[in-house]
Amino acid sequence: MASKNIPTKDRLIFAMDVPDCDRARALADELGDAVSFYKIGLELMMSGGYFELLDWMLERDKKVFCDLKFFDIPATVGSAVRQLKDRGASFVTVHGNQSIMEAAAENKGDTLKVLGVTVLTSLDRGDLDDLGFDCNVGDLVLSRARRALEAGCDGVISSGLEVPRLRELVDSKLLVVTPGIRPVDNKPEGDQKRVVTVETAFASGVDYIVVGRPIRDAQSPRAAAESIQASIASVVEG
């Protein structure tokens, strides 16, 4: 069970995976107080108006996770994180080896938290074979989490399937943010292969979950978000 002092409502991060910022604002207005934490990523970055959207959300007392998965030479990643650190975002993701994560951690400032990506939830054993990794998914997640901790990152992105072993390794030293959440069952959907339910995620020790399509594509996104919030509360508040 996640035990950090995190407001229950903040534990749900909605993945704002929509084509443009106008759609993002409309959806945020529709969700209202059912969601307090948003993930905005590469699709919105490339649509234009990314930082205006970030500021718009902050003005409405929302928390923002900039899921940009910085991956470049360490100096460039460090500079990119330094540019972002005073923009008001809560989280940013980095993807790469230890020196890349170290550069991000060294430049994050006092409020921005750096999350190291372990293994994307769209990857399975066959994908790792294609990439040349001679280990199973769980071992790779643990190795990358250990390196993230040593590099000074604040947390990691990990599938809920690996979190029990991850907690044994790092205890509560890292935040764990889990995408690939399916509110009802454990069936993969679309490009997500390693998925878990809300209840399983938090019972395993996850701190935050990231949910996109089950909210965005629901007949009532607000009702879907409220239902997930109720599920979270039932686990973390007993």
Residue among 140, 14, 137 at smallest CA distance from 67: 14
d(CA 11, CA 117): 18
Residue 208, phi then psi, degrees to nearest 5: -135, 150
- Dihedral of CA atoms 18, 215, 178, 198 in degrees, nearest 10, equals -170
Q: At 172, phi and psi to the nearest 5? A: -105, 20
Q: Are 142 and 170 in contact (CB under 8 A)?
A: no
Beta bridge partners of 157: 117, 177
Q: In angstroms, rounded to a whole number, what is the distance separating the alpha carbons of residues 203 and 2?
A: 7
Beta-strand pair 155-157/175-178: parallel
Q: E strands within 25-184? A: 37-41, 63-70, 91-94, 113-117, 155-157, 175-178
The residue from 69, 108, 113, 187 that is catalytic is 69
Q: Quick check: is 62 catalytic?
A: no
Give the residue numbers marked as catalytic: 69
